Amino acid sequence: MKRLVEIFLRRLGSLLATLVVMSFIIFLLVEIMPGDVAQMILGQSATEESVAALREARGLNDPLLERYGRWISGVVVGDLGESVYMKGVSINSILWRKVGHSVILAMTAFIIFVPLSIFFGVLAGVKEKKPIDSIISFFGLATMALPEFVSGVILITVFAVQLKWFPIVSVLPIGESIWQNLNIVILPALSITLVMFGYISRMQRSSMISVMNSDYIRAATLKGMPRKYVIFRHALKNAMLPTITIIGMNMGWLFGGLVVVETLFGFPGMGSLLMTGIKTRDVPLIEACVLLITIIYSVSTMITDIMYSYLNPRIRFQGGQK
Amino acid sequence: MRRTLLVVLLLAIPMMVFAGGDAEKAAPVKQIRVAEQVPGLITPGVWDGQAFSMNSSIYEYLVEINAETGALEPLLATSWETDAGKVWTFKLRQGVTFHDGSVFNAEDVKYTLERTQDPSIGHLKKADFEVMESVRAVDDYTVEITLKEARPTFVYQLTDYSMAILSSDYDYASLGESKPMGTGPYTMSQLVPKESALLKKNPNYWVEGLPKIDQIAIYFVSDIDASISMLESDRVDVVPFVSPEIKQRLDGVDGIKIISPYQEMRFISMRVDEAPFNDNRVRLAFKYAMDPKIIARNVAKMELNDGVFYDESPIMASLAEYKNIPLRGRDVEKAKELLKEAGYPNGLSTELYYASDHPFGKELSQTIKELAAEAGFDIVLKGYTRDIYLSQYWLNVPITLTGWGGRIDPSMLLALAFKGDGPWNESHLDDPVLNDLIEKVSREADPDQRMVYYHEMQEWFFENGPLINVQVPLLVAISDRVVDYKHPLSQLPQYKYMDIL
């Protein structure tokens, strides 16, 4: 247990260091993006005077380090600043609502794809080289090869345009919350499922196969244990390890990086907000979104590492993790 | 077995949850739903010209343009008079209140006009209103504006979308972006930044019987294709600023029609203070190489003079000031000859800069490049995003392609973009004849004489001008259920007159 606490603390330290470095890199990257936000906002009828007035009003003329300092000291106390566009509207009031939507989308996708891909992965692994295995493997490979903007369009065409089961665009009707409109989540979630299914089911299949061929499973089978018992009680526990790693590694993407899926479906989440921010050069908004995504990635990687150490006694007891 | 059950259960939960969500709710109120671009700034004065349906419904102007006739009509001003254009007296409407309950009066007009000159705001109309010497509230409902020099068409400037009448008691600097407030037919009920806005009928609106609908629901959608999908699936009724490709796709779709309320201009300007376009023969050669019919078809997928117009002067074909000069017609041989005379027997190489993300930019520049190539112009296309184009290249390059909104009174545009000292003089013109004509049209009080100057000017452009003016349609996709869609050249859609079946 002491070892686990040590791993946790060391991970936490490196997480904080990563965030500090990343926050500066994010700030610099957004800084060197081409174009001028004041010019962008005011358009063609902008005069030099109006551009200068706007730059001054938004504090864009201050030195780089001063602006970074101002930004990061706000971020530390939870103040993400104001959008360049909406004066008097804090980013906190825009962002968290969208993050909430994205979390609901991610959770829905998670609930669909995790059991589905593990189940079919195990099935394929157990029935190795049987027709059912070939079908599952082929399907997994096919969906994995399709990028989400292709599978998404297919889903829209079939389920929204032809069958009319779900809306074409995942827009929230004004004045309604996402809980009244959960049907807008389904198609984006299915689209994510198609991407993840191949990954996870194939990983599950191959680890299942290698576990099923190991000596202790053979011994269990030879001593006359029922097959179901062997598979679920003995094999699955060990075969899940690599799958958990893969799922954990993708959590960051799932909760923060759904830019393509959200933009394609017009889903009102963090990904499409980031897209809007980039399109309109809304620097504070981009910084807030990217920083949040970085945090989600780092934390989910950390949790995966810790879970892995916990599940794998070799790391827990011998210090395999450096 | 237990685990199999668990898996089935896990799969079933989302299905059960989502099964209920699909039921459409009956609309209790009459509403028009709009999908618009995500707006940037929305405070009048620095408003970037997005979200027209929102601002044009919340704010009002002293005067408005009749969408059918193009005539100027009273709105918050009931009448106005001038002595040859130097002193303007506006009588204001009584009994109008702002959404916050304060009474509209002359102080508000004075505040709105003087605000244009406040340096801390960076007002987009600062240059246009610098001509004002003083604004005086004569009484509660009379305003007197004295100009530094005569401007007989000054009243037209008050139709500009930046000139919404603001309340002198309201803190627009801190509330303008989050709680817009004016005297308009709709009030802001709910604004979700970057997502949506809900406008409700103003119960105290000063015109009996208007507005006709109870609310306007505006979705801010950054992707135009997503907006069109919303229109096709009946989630919105109006989508402004659609492209010609979308028009082609939607033509013949039941329940949707594409209308073109007015044209916008695209200026292709040649820089005249540098070779090669300092030689009028080169400019003429360039103009002889153009084929208006091909441009119309390639750029807007429409026929010439049917939604798309082509001219060599900055006066729009839809205006009264327009002089119908027959088109030059394409003559590649003549173009080559002119180039040879000008000392370019083997043609010449030049650059055309444009905003690649601006409607019609790519199509128009590509078509021009190909047409000009046959006459010996080797044009290198330089496309940049609009902010980079405007801040780094515009006004400093051999050929520019820039979008210009239509103006009811063209004299202001002429002074800004074609006069020697104009701030947006993209072709670097400084021609004494033209300068003089522009001066005269902005000062002449007699409309007939003004027309004479306008016609002379258009002839000058035809002979010497550095300009090709392609007038492209503003396209709006609307549901058949929307009646009386009105959208005049001031770019401000008039939702108060609209109804929905």
Which residue ranges make up each domain of chain B? 2-14+29-55+184-261+475-500, 63-172, 263-473
* Neighboring chain A residues of B233 at a CB cutoff of 8 Å: 160, 167-169
Flag if B46 and A182 touch (Cβ within 8 Å): no
pLDDT band of A270, cuts 50, 70, 90:
confident
pLDDT value, residue B18: 43
| Model pLDDT, residue A317 | 61
Q: Cβ separation of A112 and B235 shorter than 8 Å?
A: no
Say if CB A37 and CB B386 are below 8 A apart: no
What pLDDT does residue B19 have?
A: 42
Q: Considering CB atoms only, which of A89, A183, A273 is closest to B18? A: A183
Q: Which residues between 198 and 257 in chain B have a beta carbon less than 8 angstroms from any beta carbon of chain A? A: 198, 217-219, 221-223, 226, 229-230, 232-233, 235
- CB distance A57–B229 less than 8 Å? no
Lowest mean pLDDT among A124-138, A275-289, B67-81, B139-153: A275-289
Q: Do residues A295 and A19 touch, judged by C-beta distance below 8 A?
A: yes
Exposure letters B299-311 (e unless 16+ CB within 10 A, then b): bbbbebeebbbbb
Residue whose C-alpha is closest to residue B403's, from B264, B290, B302, B240: B264
Map tokens 């402004």 to a residue. Answer: B240
Average pLDDT over residues A178-191: 84
Q: Does domain B2-14+29-55+184-261+475-500 have CATH number 3.40.190.10?
A: yes
Q: Which residue has the higher pLDDT, A293 or B270?
A: B270
Best mutation target, B22, B172, B178, B425, to test chain A (most A CBs within 10 A)? B22
- Greater confidence, B290 or A57? B290
Side-chain-side CA neighbours of residue A4 (13 Å) = 12
pLDDT at res. B365: 94
Dihedral pair phi/psi, residue B269, rounded to 5°: -110, 135
Which of B1, B194, B241, B385 has the highest number of chain A CBs within 10 A, making it the mutation to test binding with A? B194
Q: What is the pTM of this model?
A: 0.78
**Is the previous residue joined to B276 through a cis bond, with omega within 30 degrees of 0?**
yes
B383's enclosing H/E stretch is: strand B377-384
Contact assignment for B177 to A89 by CB distance below 8 Å: yes
pLDDT in tens, chain B (501 residues): 454 555 454 545 444 444 444 444 455 788 999 998 888 788 888 887 778 889 999 999 999 988 888 888 999 999 999 888 889 999 999 999 999 999 999 999 999 999 988 877 778 888 788 889 999 999 999 999 999 988 888 888 898 888 999 999 998 888 888 889 999 999 999 888 778 899 999 999 998 888 899 999 999 887 788 888 888 888 899 998 888 888 888 888 888 999 888 888 999 999 999 989 999 999 999 999 999 999 999 888 888 888 899 999 999 888 888 888 889 889 999 999 999 999 999 999 999 999 887 888 899 999 999 999 999 999 999 998 877 888 788 888 999 999 887 777 888 889 888 998 888 899 999 999 999 999 898 888 888 998 999 999 999 999 999 999 999 988 899 999 998 998 888 888 999 999 888
Q: Which of B55, B87, B90 is nearest to B161 (CA)?
A: B55
CB contact under 8 A, B123 and A50: yes
A276·B38 Cβ contact <8 A: yes
**Out of A42, A93, A281, closest to residue B124 by CB:** A42
**A229-234: long-range pairs with CB below 8 Å, 24+:** A231/A122, A231/A126, A232/B3
Please enumerate in sequence order all residues whose Cβ is within 8 A of that of A9, keeping only pairs 6 or more positions apart, or say none: none
Distance from C-alpha of A126 to C-alpha of B83, rounded to nearest angstrom: 95
Measured between CA atoms, how close is B476 to chain A, in angstroms? 20
Query: What distance in Å separates the CA atoms of residue B81 and residue B152, rounded to the nearest whole number?
Result: 10
Distance CA B295, CA B470 (A): 8
Quote the DSSP letter at residue B390: I
CB contacts, 8 Å: B174 with chain A: 87-88
The confidence score (pLDDT) of residue A25 equals 87
State whether A115 and B11 contact (CB < 8 Å). yes
Q: Is A174's CB within 8 Å of B219's CB?
A: yes
Structure tokens given for A66: 């001063």
The interface pTM score, or ipTM, of the predicted complex is: 0.71
- φ and ψ at B292, to 5 degrees? -55, -35
Architecture of the domain delimited by B263-473: Roll (3.10)
Rounded to 5 degrees, φ, ψ at B143 are -125, 135
pLDDT in tens, A196-206: 888 888 888 88
Give the full edge-to-edge strand order of the sheet including B31-36: B186-192, B196-201, B215-220, B31-36, B238-240, B476-479, B256-259
Cβ of B124 and A47 within 8 Å?
yes
Q: What's the pLDDT score for residue A98?
A: 86
Mean pLDDT, rounded, for A85-100: 78
Which residue in A46, A88, A266 is closest to B178 by CB distance?
Answer: A88
The verdict on a CB contact (< 8 Å) between B233 and A53 is no
Q: Alpha-carbon distance A1 to A317, whole Å? A: 9
Extended strands (E) in B67-175: 72-74, 77-82, 87-92, 132-139, 142-147
CATH no., domain B63-172: 3.90.76.10
A256, pLDDT greater than 80: no
Chain A residue numbers touching B402 (CB-CB < 8 A): 44
- Partner-chain contact B124 A50, CB within 8 Å: yes
Query: Can you give B174-212 as a three-state secondary structure string?
Result: HHCCCCCCCCCCEEEEEEECCCEEEEEECCCCCCCCCCC
Q: What is the CB neighbour count within 10 angstroms for residue A147?
A: 11
Reference B427, options B455, B469, B474, B386; nearest CA is: B469
| Chain B residues lying within 8 Å of A126, measured CB to CB | none
Tell if the CB–CB gap between A115 and B219 is shorter than 8 Å.
no
